[in-house]
Amino acid sequence: MKIKSLLLACATACTIAAPAMAEGGMFEGALPENWTADVVAAVKWNYYNFSNWQQDGTSNYTWLITYDADVQGKWKVANWRNLVNLALGKTWTDGLGQRKSADKIFWESMLDFNMTEVLKPYIGNRFETQFLSGYSYSEDEEGNEIKKAISCFMDPAYETQVAGLAYVPNDMFSQRIGFANRMTISNGYGFADDKDTEDKVEKFKDEPGLESITEFKYALSSIASFKTRLWAFVNFKGVDEIDGKWENLLAVTIVPYIELQVGYDMAYDKDLDEDAQYKTMVLFGITWRWF
């Protein structure tokens, strides 16, 4: 808790102290009048090297490349929104070797029909997978590392079709509730396998259910912004078949092209682990805002 409080305090201090330098993206004004976009690409890294260092320390480096896009076209009858989130990063630590720190491919496309100003029936599609193979690490009796592949590109992959009703009172907040059909594709690592059928291994799983998406984003100042997204999916099989993810990100522009990000994610997927998963991150590096 002390670490989280310190990180939030640092981010708050940067927000207050830094000058207003983030007034728009490089391609601002290039879109048609009925289109809006929030598109950011970033490269972040850190590096430590210790040689004959008598105090405590371990050589390590981390790199991360991200691309985050929220693009929306607005017409009289309907609005079309596309979210794209890509992330790939690795960490190397002396004595442990290289590990993945981030690996994400996410694309969501939603078509909202303007029934009223705030209530909008919608249909959409979502696709999720990863770029590289993932591994689990253990040791044998002699202390040698055992590296086992547990996932890869398109294994697992998730394809979700949705339809429901959205409440969108303004550009900062939205709440969506609807029917969803979530498909899991897994050819080699068993993410789609039904444990109750021992005679075969399923490579495809189809789960109809209900889905809720709550989103909120707010510009704290001209240099700082916060956004949060809470997603939950309930399988029609029962209330114990619940998946969820809560993502939070605070971004602060220190100087042009240099940004500090503080994030906290929480996820639950019974098929992966019966306990909740948590991720806290502090990132600093070059950020290229397109829009």
With a pLDDT cut of 70, the percent of the chain lying above it is: 90
The CATH number given to whatever domain includes residue 98 is: 2.40.230
- pLDDT recorded at residue 89: 96
What pLDDT does 81 receive?
96
| 16 phi and psi angles, rounded to 5 deg | -75, -40
pLDDT at residue number 209: 95
Closest CA to 226 of 247, 246, 248: 248
The tens digit of pLDDT for each residue in 157-169 reads 999 999 999 999 9
Q: 71: pLDDT confidence band, cut at 50, 70 and 90?
A: very high
Q: Which of 10-24, 84-98, 121-135, 244-258 has the weakest average pLDDT?
A: 10-24
- 24 falls in which pLDDT band (50, 70, 90)? low
Q: How confident is the model at residue 176 (pLDDT cuts 50, 70, 90)?
A: very high
Q: What angle do CA 151, 154, 155 make, to 5 degrees?
A: 35
With contact defined as beta carbons under 8 Å apart, do 251 and 261 qualify? Answer: yes
- CB 180, CB 124: distance < 8 Å: no
Average confidence (pLDDT) over 147-161: 96
Q: How many alpha carbons lie under 13 Å from residue 279 in its C-beta half-sphere?
A: 14
Q: How far apart are CA 100 and CA 102, in angstroms?
A: 6
Q: Position of tokens 């806290």?
A: 280
Domain that holds residue 252: 2-289
- Give me the phi and psi of 13, to 5 degrees please: -65, -40
pLDDT value, residue 242 = 84
pLDDT above 90 for 68? yes
Alpha helix positions (H), the chain: 2-17
> Based on the structure, what is the number of domains in the chain?
1
pLDDT digits (tens, 9 = 90+) for 223-236: 899 999 999 999 88
Identify the pLDDT of residue 2.
40
CA distance 171 to 178: 20
Dihedral, 34, 175, 248, 218 alpha carbons, nearest 10: 50
Residue 29's region, left for phi above 0, alpha for psi from -120 to 50, else beta, is left
- Per-residue pLDDT band for 239 (boundaries 50, 70, 90) equals low
Which pair of structure tokens corresponds to residue 189?
């690592």
pLDDT of 199 > 90? The answer is no
Worst-scoring range by mean pLDDT, 40-54, 116-130, 159-173?
40-54
pLDDT score of 12 more than 50:
no
